[in-house]
Structure 1
């Protein structure tokens, strides 16, 4: 008997977080992620947690900072311009080595843009999420099922590395309804929380949560510690999947999230025309699954095609790995326009040219 239920992506985010042991949620409504807030408002207190609708995104991320400092599992969610407002607080969280989960349900921009889906926060969340030298893991599921699994697991990753973790989806995945079977994984027990600021207790000293270091040597020591941790995250937490990869690929598509789903249709349609396409789907965009690109370079005739709902923000990461060994092409739509299989296949034909 199946235990699957039909749920909207945004509601799955909240339900998965509660099941993962999230005890505090702080947020501010913004389309297209407001259902996360609404579901938390209706459910988290019934299950032993706390909910606060903050007066702004700035207030919400600083409430996350305070709760995370006590050692409880805590989450916030927002959309594009809201994440921009949270960026200072996210840098403080990273510097203070505080675990938490942040969800970005992307809308199109720049500016207030519109409420349609996009992937145009890629650079923001992987390269410009706040001031200073820091990164945070960012996961990009392509289905409601995977969304629930990654939100659940993100709390474990946050605790393991004492870092904020982000799950980023486009607004389409937040709004669609799909069947999901929630995992009954046991929440990790005996997590080291000896660092948290929860009163003196049995310790002989107070723990202080802080991101201000006026001593330059102490601040450099923090930076070195963080960089060592990021090295471990790169080694252990980079994720991705390869679809339809076989010998003599004409072209390899690279796409994540909803766009990766569209690319699978492109691969099927290309096969009917005798075009041999494969797909690399990054599941983490930081750290980027570099090995999946590196391992396929020798087996792609015309290189790679980055397919995005943005203006080519992921192209740099692919080019950084490929270098001059193979071409890296781009096809994307922006402003909330979703690329169609026919459009992408048209770009494939353009790249391959008369070699069909």
Structure 2
């Protein structure tokens, strides 16, 4: 059994990526994820792998494009404004069908905002980071251990589907420390990277990495191919947790990441007041776990409440999934403010009635 070690979230990300076989890291410092790059800068050269601090976020994502095109596992990390700068490159990577992992440790916004934790990049991550008809899997860990595990999954999913994959945490997860275990994990059986531009070898023609299609008919065929891939990801890669929904609840909360941890505390406090709450915790933000609402729709008296560190973004997917069958409420803090258990409980009590 592997020994647990106390690590800061950002550093655990770096170690998880190394153990998952990441060969190249390209990044640029921005709070609150700078320790990811700092960790990789120390460790990667010592084991014969590539660390390069790019001159900008734009340069970093295009370096990822180049490295991914050769078939090696590669990663970049940033925080909200930096991810915005990478958006064009991510779209190119998706169009070229290249596997890579992108870390976003979210901070408050818009603009430069603050360095405090937030979840206000949900739209950016799940509704199309960059231009064109594409999606990418987005994982939302709620603990450092889960972040470690999901990073290893992310590299496998990226390789299996030839797609960029995002692991999206927040400033709190990046900066906090928890014990983590780097376990030997069963890897997926992955296809050989016969598409990689890594020399002629035994091939008669060089592989070419490209996302440019000058003929509309060709581009449409490519888009249809991509949409089939995204449908397969929706079918096979949805992850979520149902918590305390073994029987009918007064209300079911929906929350992810750090906020979901706070909601679990609210569940305990509400129980003392005779109110039964449940929690749907999306682990994949895309694909969104709509099936979790089909499973729980008859197990909630007062519907659902989406609890977020945003002005209200995931709540739209909650409403789409519920599809008018039950009420959907929202509670959020924004700008880097973290909701307290007391605030959430007060909102819950307004909905279900009873003593605050």
Q: TM-score range by the shorter chain?
A: over 0.9
**Segment drifting more, 199-208 vs 156-165:** 199-208
Displacement after TM superposition at 1:325 (Å): 1.1
Q: Which residue of 2 aligns with 1:135?
A: 135
Contact 2:156 2:190 in 1 (8 A): no
Partner of 1:123: 123
Q: SS at 1:6's partner residue?
A: strand
Compared CA separation, residues 322 and 331, structure 1 to 2 (3 A): same
Alignment RMSD: 1.3
After superposition, give the CA deviation of every residue in 1:99-126 in whole Å (9 maximum; x if it has no partner): 0000000000000000000000000000
2:256 maps to 1:256: yes
2:74 maps to 74
Question: Is contact 1:21–1:187 with CA below 8 Å preserved after alignment?
Answer: no
- Alpha-carbon shift at residue 185 of structure 1 (Å): 2.3
TM-score with structure 2 length normalisation? 0.98
Map Cα deviations across residues 168-203 of structure 1 (whole Å, 9 max, x no partner). Answer: 001000000000010122655764111000111110
Instruction: Say yes or no: does 1:113 pair with 2:120.
Output: no
Counterpart position of 1:241: 241
How does the TM-score come out when normalised to structure 1? 0.98
Question: Shift in Å at residue 353 of structure 1?
Answer: 2.4
The residue that corresponds to 2:184 in the other structure is 184
1:145 — aligned with what?
145
Q: For residue 185 of structure 2, give the secondary structure of its aligned residue in structure 1.
A: coil
CA distance in 2, matches of 1:125, 1:211: 21
Q: Distance in 2 between matches of 1:312 and 1:224?
A: 31
Which position in structure 2 is the counterpart of 1:89?
89
Rounded Cα–Cα distance in structure 2 between residues aligned with 1:27 and 1:187: 26
Deviation at 1:294, TM superposition (A): 1.3
- Contact kept in structure 1, 2:76 and 2:102, CA below 8 Å: yes
Deviation of the 1:246 alpha carbon? 2.7
> Residue 49 of structure 1: CA displacement?
0.9
Deviations 1:287-345 (A, max 9, x none): 00111111101110000010000011011001001121100000010111100000000
| 1:221 matched residue in structure 2 | 221
Corresponding position: 1:24 with 2:33: no
For the Cα contact (< 8 Å) 1:118–1:171, is it kept in 2?
yes
Structure 2 residues without counterparts, runs of 5 or longer: none
Q: For residue 2 of structure 1, report the CA deviation from its aligned partner.
A: 6.0
Note the residue ranges of structure 1 that are not aligned, 5 or more in a row.
none
The aligned residue for residue 4 of structure 1 is 4
Alignment of 1:261-300 (within 5 A): 261-300=261-300
Give the Cα separation in 2 of the matches to 1:355 and 1:5.
42
Aligned residue in 1 for 2:169 = 169
Q: Could you list the runs of 4 or more consecutive aligned residues of structure 1 that deviate by over 6 angstroms after TM superposition?
A: none
* SS class of match (2:7): strand
Measured in 2, the distance between the counterparts of 1:179 and 1:191 equals 34
Change (3 A) 1:219 1:175: same
Residue 98 (structure 2) aligns with: 98
How many equivalent residue pairs?
356
2:61 aligns with 61
Query: Which secondary structure does the structure 1 equivalent of 2:228 belong to?
Result: helix
Q: What is the aligned partner in structure 2 of residue 230 from structure 1?
A: 230
- Contact 1:140–1:257 (Cα < 8 Å) also in 2: yes
Shift of 1:247: 2.1
Measured in 2, the distance between the counterparts of 1:21 and 1:191 equals 16
Distance 1:302 1:355, change over 3 A: farther
In 1, Cα distance between equivalents of 2:310 and 2:236: 28
Equivalent-residue separation in structure 2 for 1:146 and 1:236 (angstroms): 19
- Whether the 8 Å CA contact 1:20–1:187 is kept in 2: the answer is no
Q: Does 1:318 align with 2:299?
A: no
